[in-house]
A and B are shown apart, each in its own frame.
Chain A
Amino acid sequence: MSAAAAARSRPGEPAFDSDRALLALLLAGVAVPLLVFVVWPLAEILKLSFDTPKGLGLGNYAVYFATPKFARVLVNSLEVAVCATLITTVLAYGFAYAMQRCLPRGRRVLGAIALLPLYAPSLLQALGILFLLGRNGAIARTFGVDIDIYGFTGIVVADVFYAFPHAYLILSAALAIGDARLYESAEMLGAGRARIFRTVTLPATRYGLMSAVFVVFTIVITDFGNPMVIGGDYSVLATEIYNQVSGQGNMAMGAVIGVVLLVPAAIAVFVERWVARHHHAVLGDRSDPLRVVPSPARDRVALAYSALICGAIALIVLVVVVASFVTLWPYNLSMSLRHYHFEVQNGLAPLWTSIGVSLAAAVLGVVVVIVGAAVVRRLGPVLTQALYFLSVLPAAVPGMVLGLGYILAFNRPDNPLGFLYGSLAILVICNVYHYHAQGFLIATTAMSQVSRVFDEASTCLGGGLARTLGTVTLPLVAPALVSIGVFFFVRSMVTLSAVIFIVTPATQLAAVSVLLLDDSGNQNQAAAYSVCIMAVVAVALIALEATLALVRHRGGMRAPQLAAA
């Protein structure tokens, strides 16, 4: 190198810097597993779906769309998704409005009840609805009427409950903020309630509304558990993939249907991400926070409405719990523990397997997403964009598609990682990457609360990446770490869709046991197994609350300091 070139050299090109080496190492440590455990399985599915006897082509898709049965399945999925999305969004908007813009009695309890479906195995809604409205349900038996809930109606009703808390959380966040000045000026101009709602409230929450619509659509169209239990002959994409792969052993058709499911789900996810970014821009400006003043009439209506919704949500969970503890629902309601003697492969062992896998997923998940968030913070804009995309990509991949991808990628002798197949480790990995996007977003949000000045101060004092993270950044985001861990734990306990394809008799999971029990006509035992899962989840949530309370107590007034600009 000439002297002039040396003098002109730019920083960022030092001879060797251990810190940059560490960053590169961490980047590889985050990106390579994302490629291996998300992109590769996806690529395998795509490849198989285009693989025809005459080479790569659209042949399989031509067969798919030419087969009336398959075309019907796509229409079914879209019908269910659109219907359930509309109903859920409207109901959840009303509920979020009652929680954020009214003052009904027992607001906090109502808000907590609305979240119950998040903490139950995904098929629990369908199970509960069948206990009430099914052929052998309480209503049919009590009143001697014959209700046909199986199929379209049942799936929509179950999925409305299943997706409700997600919509409520998004809309609640959108309605929680508002500019008091806008409302005051509208009132002074003499606008009535309906008019204010139409001209102020609705426009101000439009991004939240759009987010909710796309999130609910993705959840419903990718749901597997509820349609399995309550769908009857009404097939949707997620259940048809299972049918093709597990029932008929037709991987290729499974892959085609997987791609057909992947497209709308991915579009919805990326539109939602795009909307969410705009949403943040709206939040940025300065405004007077909204103060909700009591209004007896309005608050009574709000209470009636939210109590109705929470009543329905709680009823479904309750009926499952009760059914698990009686001799034979709904004929013999005397107390009994007989359903807790599980007549399923390995009995209660899958519950312990689930707990172990979920604990491991919690630890691995926290490490993976927090390192990802820390690396993203230090990268240049181009690499940041790339890693960000990779990190949120799993949100766009339906669980059934990911699970099938794992079979295609790892269940073959020529894969050096083939030894993972059939192990508990692959279940842990699958759960971590299935929910990677959500965990990563919580982690980056928490990290963005920590001012960059702390990083820079540490750097100038001679602190490397590892020390800055260990001594400053991570302690400051510790509460978020606990939340992320519990998030991975809970999701891993209740998820069914991705793992259904990769469990083996030796690595059976609890949620799969519920499905098997239901499938063999053992609804009461399925209920009992669900109750066990919910009990474990409840313990985890209580532990989270206790930890956070402890941190708040010890941390004192630390939180506001986090955001030193």
Chain B
Amino acid sequence: MFLTLAGIRKRFGAVTALDGVSLAVDEGEFVCFLGPSGCGKTTLLRIIAGLETPDEATITLDGRDLMRVPARLRNFGIVFQSYSLFPNLTVARNIAYGLACRGWDADATRTRVEAMLDLVNLRDYAERRPHQLSGGQQQRVALARALAPQPRVLLLDEPLSALDAKVREDLRTEIKSLQSKLRVTTVMVTHDQHEAMELADRIVVMNRGAIEQVGPPRELYDRPANRFVADFLGRMNAWPDRDGRPVLGVRPEHVELVAAADAADGANGVIRGTIERVVFLGSVTRVVVRAGERPCIVELKGSRLDLAAGQPVALRAPGEALLRLEKPAA
């Protein structure tokens, strides 16, 4: 493994930010830390960068102990959530900063800066100051600045969260294509499941300072290890088993709607209920059905004008769609 983390613990006073996190990242891989706000994602990323001192940790890069290397010498590129371009330097000098730290000569620096400006499509902005750029442009420069010195690992801490929705989506695509082109090992923090699913080779779902599950987006969605992961990636209908636990779950798109009249009473796997709400979402229609104590969410393709609140319906979940959900680890 390229980058390995083992037994990372970090407390801030009474708050346990990380409670024994271990993880291995392959070279060239794109990994996303996904989890709710305050679960320790940023702290973990900062520990990898060397900006935060863990209470306990083993971190290696290519088999070499990283804990003895200060942040300055790790050669990791980082892009922060807030704008971090040096306000007194031009775009070109910002990008050249890491090269100057490494003693590159003027010619090599110029060539590299131009290449990086091309890479993020900001060729004409070399002599601008950061305050003359939009938020999206600033983050692209920050990306170029982080990548210029050819870092071993690229670290991104919610680099898109300060941007407007449209810009965010464009930049998301740009990051993905950049990463596939450069094959730089990338670790990104996000609390946005769509961002994680679009970008990551593997997602690390975190909760309260611990890892709940690690895997490719598809696997986490189809086979979530527990309620927390299931709820965090998409929606999940869950029912207690006969004993109360563990629980059975089914994704809204896997639930089938059967007209109440057609469902033979007591037929296998059929539950009766009443439609509470119908929400038209464009490509799907979301139907909330009250069946027993808890509402069940059903997502149907296209628009379903035939359904309305108050109608009695029967629900059926195919056996192969049923998931067994463990309690969350944390």
Stretch at the interface among A147-155, A245-253, A287-295, A458-466: A458-466
Whether A461 and B145, one on each chain, are in contact in the complex, defined by CB atoms closer than 8 angstroms, is yes
B111 interface residue per 8 A CB criterion = no
Question: 8 Å CB contacts to A: which residues of B143-168?
Answer: 145-146, 149, 155
| A9-22 to B contact mask, C-beta < 8 Å, 1/0 | 11111110101100
B83 interface residue per 8 A CB criterion = yes
Whether B72 and A19, one on each chain, are in contact in the complex, defined by CB atoms closer than 8 angstroms, is yes
A454 interface residue per 8 A CB criterion = yes
A62 interface residue per 8 A CB criterion = no
Specify which chain A residues have a CB less than 8 angstroms from the CB of B87 in the assembled complex.
476, 558, 561-562, 564
Whose C-beta in chain B lies nearest to the C-beta of A472? B86
Specify which chain B residues have a CB less than 8 angstroms from the CB of A560 in the assembled complex.
131
| A534-565 to B contact mask, C-beta < 8 Å, 1/0 | 00000000000000000000001110111011
Stretch at the interface among B46-54, B173-181, B267-275, B312-320: B46-54
B84 interface residue per 8 A CB criterion = yes
Whose C-beta in chain B lies nearest to the C-beta of A463? B101
Question: 8 Å CB contacts to B: which residues of A444-477?
Answer: 451, 453-454, 456-464, 467, 471-472, 475-476
Q: How distant is the Cα of A231 from the Cα of B67 in the complex, in angstroms?
A: 66
Whether B86 and A471, one on each chain, are in contact in the complex, defined by CB atoms closer than 8 angstroms, is yes
B130 interface residue per 8 A CB criterion = yes
Whether A12 and B88, one on each chain, are in contact in the complex, defined by CB atoms closer than 8 angstroms, is no
| B73-93 to A contact mask, C-beta < 8 Å, 1/0 | 111111010111011110000
Question: 8 Å CB contacts to A: which residues of B98-146?
Answer: 98, 100-102, 129-131, 142, 145-146
A7 interface residue per 8 A CB criterion = yes
Whether A561 and B130, one on each chain, are in contact in the complex, defined by CB atoms closer than 8 angstroms, is yes
B228 interface residue per 8 A CB criterion = no
Specify which chain A residues have a CB less than 8 angstroms from the CB of B102 in the assembled complex.
462
Interface size on A, as a range, is 35 or more
Q: Of B50, B68, B72, which contacts A9 at CB under 8 A?
A: B68
Q: State the Cβ distance, A7 to closest chain B Cβ, in Å.
A: 5
A194 interface residue per 8 A CB criterion = no
Specify which chain B residues have a CB less than 8 angstroms from the CB of A10 in the assembled complex.
53-54, 56-57, 67
Specify which chain A residues have a CB less than 8 angstroms from the CB of B50 in the assembled complex.
11, 460
Whether B58 and A472, one on each chain, are in contact in the complex, defined by CB atoms closer than 8 angstroms, is no
Whose C-beta in chain B lies nearest to the C-beta of A560? B131
Given A460-B77, A558-B131, A11:B149 Cβ within 8 A: no
Q: Of B65, B82, B97, which contacts A453 at CB under 8 A?
A: B82
Specify which chain B residues have a CB less than 8 angstroms from the CB of A459 in the assembled complex.
51, 71-72
A69 interface residue per 8 A CB criterion = no
Q: State the Cβ distance, B40 to closest chain A Cβ, in Å.
A: 18
Whether B97 and A463, one on each chain, are in contact in the complex, defined by CB atoms closer than 8 angstroms, is yes
Q: How distant is the Cα of A565 from the Cα of B82 in the complex, in angstroms?
A: 6
B69 interface residue per 8 A CB criterion = yes
Whether B69 and A461, one on each chain, are in contact in the complex, defined by CB atoms closer than 8 angstroms, is no
Whether A461 and B68, one on each chain, are in contact in the complex, defined by CB atoms closer than 8 angstroms, is no
Whether B53 and A461, one on each chain, are in contact in the complex, defined by CB atoms closer than 8 angstroms, is no
Whether B78 and A558, one on each chain, are in contact in the complex, defined by CB atoms closer than 8 angstroms, is no
Whose C-beta in chain A lies nearest to the C-beta of B66? A11
Specify which chain B residues have a CB less than 8 angstroms from the CB of A557 in the assembled complex.
131
A145 interface residue per 8 A CB criterion = no
Q: How distant is the Cα of A88 from the Cα of B78 in the complex, in angstroms?
A: 53
Whose C-beta in chain B lies nearest to the C-beta of A467? B101
Q: Of A460, A464, A475, A476, which contacts B78 at CB under 8 A?
A: A460
Given A461-B101, A463-B72, A9:B84 Cβ within 8 A: no
Whether B58 and A462, one on each chain, are in contact in the complex, defined by CB atoms closer than 8 angstroms, is no
Whether A564 and B72, one on each chain, are in contact in the complex, defined by CB atoms closer than 8 angstroms, is no
Q: How distant is the Cα of A145 from the Cα of B71 in the complex, in angstroms?
A: 77
Whose C-beta in chain A lies nearest to the C-beta of B98? A461
B38 interface residue per 8 A CB criterion = no
A8 interface residue per 8 A CB criterion = yes
A109 interface residue per 8 A CB criterion = no
Given A471-B89, A472-B88, A476-B87, A462:B98 Cβ within 8 A: yes
Chain B residues with a Cβ under 8 A of chain A: 49-51, 53-54, 56-58, 65, 67-78, 80, 82-84, 86-89, 97-98, 100-102, 129-131, 142, 145-146, 149, 155
A-B contacts, 8 listed (Cβ < 8 Å) = A10-B53, A451-B82, A453-B82, A459-B71, A463-B72, A472-B86, A476-B88, A558-B88
Chain A residues with a Cβ under 8 A of chain B: 6-15, 17, 19-20, 451, 453-454, 456-464, 467, 471-472, 475-476, 556-558, 560-562, 564-565
Q: A7-B58, A11-B68, A459-B71 are in contact. List 12 more A-B contacts (CB 8 A).
A: A10-B54, A10-B56, A451-B84, A456-B71, A456-B84, A457-B80, A459-B72, A461-B97, A462-B149, A467-B100, A476-B87, A558-B87
Return the 4 tightest CB-CB contacts between A and B, nearest first. A462-B101, A461-B98, A561-B87, A453-B84
